[in-house]
Amino acid sequence: MISTPDGSKTLTAGLTTGDGAIDPAQEFPKALDRLIRAVFSGGQAAG
């Protein structure tokens, strides 16, 4: 969970994995960065 200092926006994220070919340890940080940028920078994140 991450929030703006004033509490006006909060992001809660979770990760569920299966037997996919991707490595969650490699992909989750990238996805989290895109989510944070999209939510807290007021626009859609590139990537």
The model's pLDDT over 7-43, given as tens digits with 9 standing for 90+, comes to: 898 888 777 777 878 888 888 888 889 888 888 887 5
What's the pTM value of the predicted model, to 2 decimals? 0.57
Residue 43's pLDDT is: 58
CA separation for the pair 44, 6 (Å, rounded): 21
Residue 6's pLDDT is: 92
The three-class DSSP label of residue 2 is strand
The three-class DSSP label of residue 39 is helix
Residue 17's pLDDT is: 76
